[in-house]
A and B are shown apart, each in its own frame.
Chain A
Amino acid sequence: MDGDAGDTLATVDLKAEYETSGVREILDELERELIGLAPVKQRIRETAALLLVDRARRELGLAHETPTLHMSFTGNPGTGKTTVALKMAGLLHRLGYVRKGHLVSVTRDDLVGQYIGHTAPKTKEVLKKAMGGVLFIDEAYYLYKPDNERDYGQEAIEILLQVMENNRDDLVVIMAGYADRMDRFFAANPGFRSRIAHHIEFPDYTDEELGRISASMLEGQGYAFDEGGRQAMEEYIRLRREQPHFANARSIRNALDRARLRQANRLFSADGPVDARALSTITEADIRPSRVFSGGLDTDGHRADAD
């Protein structure tokens, strides 16, 4: 499209684009489905505005380059990074920055090989699958082992850097992990730092937010707390947070899985028929037996999340 159509200037209706591109739909979904995360949602709205404007500028011939869209998501486990990355992929797709909009989620093991000559094909295999979409690298800092200069991770890093530079039209890379370790990783690998334009921080959830998350997760599975269950869950959240391996919403999801298991056993071992209400109610009795209440720590070391 030309910047200047005769004597009337060409225009772009940003509000209309916001509606028709489907960006609004994604942002609404984000708002609706994700509890809390206000600063993250704010940053995503800003990014969406930036990209809409950039797109309009290119339509009017004011800009030509594909902007750098690679991102880093930092935050503790279970703060919603993967979930938001999925939404981000949808957003970038609606705006036409990625052709297909799928998310390929990997960790070091998917990229780095076990012996010489194994890493490059592995990394390339992943990259081929991610083309047209978003490559999400969880705990990206494991790619870099400063104490071992012959670590195969280095090879994956070099391929990634190259692709992030040369294939900006083909894929967007999101690197995720704990904030402090990501900072050290970027400091040691300035190539990544300079290729990543958007840094989004994911705060820990408050107790109140985790309470609401637990209710909405249960609802999604067709269950609900009764009043005692809800209170027990609130207490559980307070205690669980103080214990090792606390993983925000993920800990909640795991606790609820175990609560449903206990509920099933409770119903099964009781006499008499059960009604729909009993089948879908989580009570105090399904939460309080957790070891978290007796000051118990995670004793079985193989499980990342304590109960």
Chain B
Amino acid sequence: MRITQGCFSFLPDLTDEQIRAQVEYILSREWAVGIEFTDEPHPRNTYWEMWGNPMFDLKDAKGVMMELDECRKAHGDSYIRINAFDSTRGWETVMMSFIVNRPASEPSLRTWRTEADGRHIRYTHELVGR
């Protein structure tokens, strides 16, 4: 099942040229760039593994693309995403996040409903087929 999270995830996968253009945009806003990967794309798994340190003060997307290439070499069958972080006081948050790599075969999510007290329903999402 195609995992959709972050920006652009309902579009076809971005080409490297498109990723590069997005990174240029990120750098033009002076946001820091982080690359992260995981093999567990559960929506509640907010903390992916960091690939190196976040990159501050880059002027050109090439530096990010080099890291992305390295990350793909090491974790080609994982999910990889690019995060853009705005360190401006008052924001200090991720401004943009998008998937740039997917495993050949993606897991799917199964939803379980459980009747709880009263007429409440509890939902559990389970990753299957990993």
Contact = CB atoms under 8 A, between A and B. Distances in A.
Interface of A: 99-100, 102, 121, 124, 127-129, 131-133, 167, 170
Contacts of B62: 128, 131-132, 167, 170
Nearest to B56: A129
A121 B55 CA distance: 13
B66 interface: yes
Contacts of B30: none
Contacts of A100: 59-60
B82 to A, nearest CB: 14
A124 B55 CA distance: 12
Contacts of B60: 99-100, 131-133, 170
B50 to A, nearest CB: 14
Nearest to A127: B63
Given A100-B59, A131-B58, A132-B59, 6 more contacts: A128-B58, A128-B62, A128-B66, A131-B62, A131-B63, A133-B59
B67 interface: yes
Contacts of A124: 66
B17 interface: no
B117 interface: no
B57 interface: yes
A128 B64 CA distance: 7
A124 B64 CA distance: 11
Greatest chain A CB density within 10 A among B52, B58, B63 is at B63
A127 B52 CA distance: 15
A81 B78 CA distance: 47
A129 B67 CA distance: 12
Interface string B48-75: 0000100101111011101100000000
Contacts of A133: 59-60
Nearest to B57: A129
Which of B55, B60, B67 is most buried by chain A, counting CB atoms within 10 A of its CB?
B60
A102 B55 CA distance: 17
Contacts of A167: 62
Contacts of B66: 124, 127-128, 131
Contacts of B55: 128
A102 B62 CA distance: 14
A121 B67 CA distance: 11
12 contacts: A99-B60, A102-B59, A124-B66, A127-B63, A127-B66, A128-B62, A129-B57, A129-B59, A131-B62, A132-B60, A132-B62, A133-B60
